[in-house]
Structures are given as structure tokens and as C-alpha cells.
Amino acid sequence: MFMQAYTYDDILLVPNKSLHSRSTAKLETKLSRNIHIDLPITSANMDTITGYELARTMSRLGGVGFLHRNMKIEENCYTVQKCLDTWKPYWSPVIPTVGVSTSERERAESLLSLGIQGICIDIANAYSDRVTSMINFIRSKSKDVDIIAGNVASGPAALFLAQRGVDAIKVGIGPGSVCTTRRMTGFGVPQFTAISMVKRTLLDHRYNQIPVIADGGIKSSGDIVKALWAGASSIMTGKLFAGCLEANNPNAYRGMASNDARQVLLSDGDVSTVAEEGIAIEVQDAGSAEDVIRELCNGIRSGMSYAGCEYISELNMCQDVRAVVQTQNGIIESGTRK
């Protein structure tokens, strides 16, 4: 009666014939319809994670930072402009975020006037007419900017966004490490299955040009490889950068729907009747984001070698690689033991 849905930990990929050495694996991928990046890693638009410093590091290493929006429009534009000034004339190295309230239109318009290449519309459940209104507003101001919208966790929701002309879809309802949505509301889809369902639906409806970003729940490079195999073209993580030197607040990590973070957002005109769906935690020093990214990339390259794939686009739903569902004992065996 109910379909089974899986998390990253439930699944293991079966090693394929290794055709390439791990050193030759290529990590370039598509972030969105028209934006290419050199690594499949993006940093989350959370106010303890992506500010100017992390955005700069992400971009320098070939990924991309999604800038948080928990700040006044002037500061938001100033930060984006600083990023643009650092990297011109190459490409817009940062993706700023907007919400969907009417007051966010002013933010979107100001950001678009800076000449960004991509913008993220971020809302807890993007299967919503409010997202349609924001997409239409952005399109009325810019025909060229890539619109990345999320989050969703089902085929129909992804199709809804695809039909409204978005250029990438962010997937993940409730997998985040500081997220309490599933417990608060009873809604969500285990992340591995959510990614597969979204990608399958996009392909079935000939939206293969729309990349999927797997957002939340990544604990290791192994999870990234599983996400890429399931159909994502890149992943977003906050947790793996929490406590890093380059994080916007290296001492704390908080959900953007936690009361802590919302106090700032609410004062900026957002609704105050929504439930708290995140927590705030203290974090330990996690070293430099650069080291974290390097380690993740090594793991991904190694995973691609087990898959027999040279490119991430080959790994994406690769038919030659099978997946198995592991039992609780398998999960124990997969961990390290003394």
C-alpha cells in the first residue's frame, strides 16, 4: 500500500568494473540550465554558513556558494557586488537567494540589477503559487538569469516548477541536519528516494536540461556519490561547512526556520505565524572549508572509479551501476568498528 522510500544510509552502490583511475575522474557538472561549475558542491544559503568568505572559497575551488538572505537588501547587494568585483570578468560566482513574499520583490529587483547569472527562490515547500508569482516577477525583469527554485521532494512538485520555466530544482524536504520539519509536520520524503523521483519525473517529461540539486542530509562524500547516482547534478550542504573558518559564523550552526534565525527574518516583514522547523546548535572547529572540499572531492573521484564513470553526467542514473538496499546489519557493517 505504501511505497518504500530510502535515505542515503539505506542504500549502497554495487562496484562496477573500474574503467578509469580515480585521478582522471572529472568533477565538472551543471548547476542549472546555463551555469556550469567545476565541482558538484554548493554551500547552503544559511546565515551561519554562506557569506562573502565562504562564497569566495567555494568559487575559487570551482563550486558555488548560495548566499543567505538574512540581511537587509543594501547589505545583500553590497555582498553580491563584492563577489562580482572579485571575479569579473569570468562569471557570477555567487547565487543570491530570495523568498516569495511581496517585500522580497524589491530584493530580487535590486539583485538582478547587479548582473547576476543565477538567483535562488527558496521556500520550505516550493510547490506553491507564490513561487509562480516570484518566477514571473523575476522573468519580467530578466530573461537571462537562471532561476533555481526549491525545495521540493516529489515528481508532481518538480514538474510544477519545470512547467513554470525554472532552470534548476532544489530537492529536500526535511533531510537537513538542523531541520525539524518531519517531526513538526509529519511531511517529507527520505532524500535518496526524493532525488530519484524528481529526476525520473523530469526525464519522463523531457525536462532533461533541468539539473537537480540535492539539498540537505549529506554526511560524507559517499552520500554525495549516492546523490549523484540517484539523479542529482550537484549537492548542497550546510552541515559539512559548519564550524569552518570561512563560514559566516564559525561558532554556530542554525536552521533558517529556527526561532534564532527567524527573529532577523521576521523583523524584515515575513509572516510570524509559521512553526519553528529548525534548531540552533553550537559547533566545533572544523578547520578550513578548502580542506573539507578537497577531501570530499577525493572521495567523489574514488566513488566514480568504483562506478566506472569518468564524468558526473555518466554517473547520473548510470544503468551499469546497481544499488542495493542494506539491512540494519549492513549499516552496522558499513561503519567502522574497533
Which positions touch ligand 5GP (CB under 6 A)? 44, 46, 151, 172, 174, 176-179, 181, 215-218, 236-239, 255-258, 277-278
User: Judged by CB, which is closer to ligand 5GP: 178, or 197?
Assistant: 178
- The grid cell for 16 is 562496477
Give the nearest distance from C-beta 217 to ligand 5GP in angstroms. Answer: 5
Give the nearest distance from C-beta 84 to ligand 5GP in angstroms. Answer: 23
Of 195, 211, 220, 222, give the one whose Cα is nearest residue 13: 222
Residue least distant from ligand 5GP (Cβ): 278
Q: How many CB atoms lie within 10 A of CB 236?
A: 31
Give the nearest distance from C-beta 271 to ligand 5GP in angstroms. Answer: 15
User: Judged by CB, which is closer to ligand 5GP: 11, or 321?
Assistant: 11
Give the nearest distance from C-beta 262 to ligand 5GP in angstroms. Answer: 8
- Ranges of beta strands (E only) in 81-192 are 94-95, 97-98, 118-122, 146-152, 168-171
User: Judged by CB, which is closer to ligand 5GP: 25, or 230?
Assistant: 230
Cα–Cα distance for residue pair 250/241, rounded to 1 Å: 9
Cα–Cα distance for residue pair 63/293, rounded to 1 Å: 9
Q: How many CB atoms lie within 10 A of CB 58?
A: 27
Cα–Cα distance for residue pair 228/321, rounded to 1 Å: 12
User: Judged by CB, which is closer to ligand 5GP: 203, or 252?
Assistant: 252
Give the nearest distance from C-beta 143 to ligand 5GP in angstroms. Answer: 28
Cα–Cα distance for residue pair 112/67, rounded to 1 Å: 14
Task: Report helix angle 73-87 to 104-112, nearest 10.
Answer: 20
Decide the pairing of beta strands 280-282 and 252-254.
antiparallel
Please provide residue 284's backbone torsions phi and psi, each rounded to the nearest 5 degrees: -90, 160
Three-class SS state of 307:
helix
Give the nearest distance from C-beta 4 to ligand 5GP in angstroms. Answer: 22
User: Judged by CB, which is closer to ligand 5GP: 25, or 161?
Assistant: 161
Cα–Cα distance for residue pair 70/197, rounded to 1 Å: 31
Cα–Cα distance for residue pair 168/319, rounded to 1 Å: 23
User: Judged by CB, which is closer to ligand 5GP: 117, or 237?
Assistant: 237
Please provide residue 50's backbone torsions phi and psi, each rounded to the nearest 5 degrees: -100, 105
Cα–Cα distance for residue pair 300/220, rounded to 1 Å: 10
CA torsion 136→137→138→142, rounded to 10°?
90
User: Judged by CB, which is closer to ligand 5GP: 104, or 122?
Assistant: 122
Q: How many helices (H) and strands (E) does the chain have?
A: 12, 15
Could you list the active site residues?
Answer: 179
Give the nearest distance from C-beta 313 to ligand 5GP in angstroms. Answer: 23
Cα–Cα distance for residue pair 161/131, rounded to 1 Å: 8
